[in-house]
Structure 1
Amino acid sequence: MATSVLSKSVLPKVPKTARKTSTKTAALQAQPDAHEPDANKTLNLILSRLDDMKAEETVTIDLRGKSAYSDYMIITSGRANRHVGAIAENVTKGLKESGVKSVHVEGLPNCDWVLIDSGDVIVHVFRPEVREFYNLERLWTQNPAVAAV
């Protein structure tokens, strides 16, 4: 008798709904989010936003088969720090409005090089001098051994 009283007081109380998961609930949890846009839709949205913001020298690199973490990489330039920041904010706003849930942005305080990672598409927005220095296009388009890493 003492054992049953002890076990009831030591064990945490679990709500009845958490004890059993129906097959319908498990199936819904396993399905990808229907609101998450696919890579091509995301790519078109980003390219449209870049065009609207007058981004310069936009290059799209197809990473399918070269990279496991992203399908496309976009490299573009803004004329100055403020232009780079405005482009990045506009693209980020458009991604969030379209339902992309996990948008990660780096480099926005300085606006020399802003990275926007939407999962399927990665966007690099550079000032022209910084873009020329890092030359990412050459890295991803001319050296397949490095791109496969």
Structure 2
Amino acid sequence: MVTIGNEWTQLGDLLVARRKELSRALDADWRFRRRFADAHELDYRTVSDLEVGRRDNYEEMTYRRVERAYRWERGSIEEVLEGREPRPEPIAPIVETGAGPGGERLEIEHVKVGEFEAYLTAAADVAENMSEEERDEARRKTIETLRGLLKHLE
């Protein structure tokens, strides 16, 4: 049996902690290793091997892809393997910029489906406690808002 050095165990522990931190801040599904790997188009076995310190033979390209997924600065994996700390990037939702229909600048924040479902569930709970008149008004305002958004996208 091949013995992997303590630096690989340390790396694995830091990766698990970072994945959990990212899951709390951005996507609760990322607490599951497979869902994290899938979301970042990483090989599940590679993520698993790194997180548990199973092996120590990876290509540099793998390091870069893993650092990007875990939102660590380039070279952080080598830093950890040399006994130093990783350099995490700030955790913030991914925002893309683009041009709207009139050429105006748009910023689009990626909202995870699970978060959206949670918002909808909370709204449904609130709606259950509304009077019929309040529900009708909320329904009318929601439809009006959605129509406005759709017109803006045309």
Return the TM-score normalized by structure 2. Answer: 0.25
Structure with greater contact order relative to length (CA < 8 Å, sep ≥ 6)? 1
Greater share of helix? 2
